[in-house]
Chain A
Amino acid sequence: AQSVTQLGSHVSVSEGALVLLRCNYSSSVPPYLFWYVQYPNQGLQLLLKYTTGATLVKGINGFEAEFKKSETSFHLTKPSAHMSDAAEYFCAVRVMIYNQGGKLIFGQGTELSVKP
């Protein structure tokens, strides 16, 4: 069965520092992987996704993630954190069901704090 584990429920970085949010997945089939961001009192916004092809995917707001099959990982990075990046981040894997649809299974979320 597919699953997602996010390492670290809280990550704190200084403004301008590297952001690294870790995600490991378990999947018996080639995975579709996603990162979402949730700002307070808002819905989830897609940051980036990996389906097939290039393993380094770029998303919005300067974020990128690299799919590493050998490590079953899909870590999210950003070279330089901004105060506006403070939010909850979710990694997710898609599970297909009977070719009629599917669902996303989410990790537990990582809260990113950015210190001035």
Chain B
Amino acid sequence: GAVVSQHPSRVICKSGTSVKIECRSLDFQATTMFWYRQFPKKSLMLMATSNEGSKATYEQGVEKDKFLINHASLTLSTLTVTSAHPEDSSFYICSARTGGAGTEAFFGQGTRLTVV
């Protein structure tokens, strides 16, 4: 199947700093990528939908100024957590589709963010 690479897998940062997470589709072009957040033993909560060359669409309750999403190319989307706080500590996962709504999504390995 298609491969989505997410980096870094783990990151620890200090409160007030910013952290960038990268999501790359390695062997296909992804016009749409999705960013999810997952709390321990919970399901995935969709944060935003990232479309190549345009602004991301954020879900209700997600601060777009805090979670900056950039989808600069058909193979790369980034999520930047700005001015991180301990409550931002979580597992962040990206996914990318090979096609439209009727196709399966492929997921990155996830990033464990810890803000101290």
Is chain B found bound to chain A in the same assembly?
no
Interfacial residues, chain A to chain B (CB-CB below 8 A): none
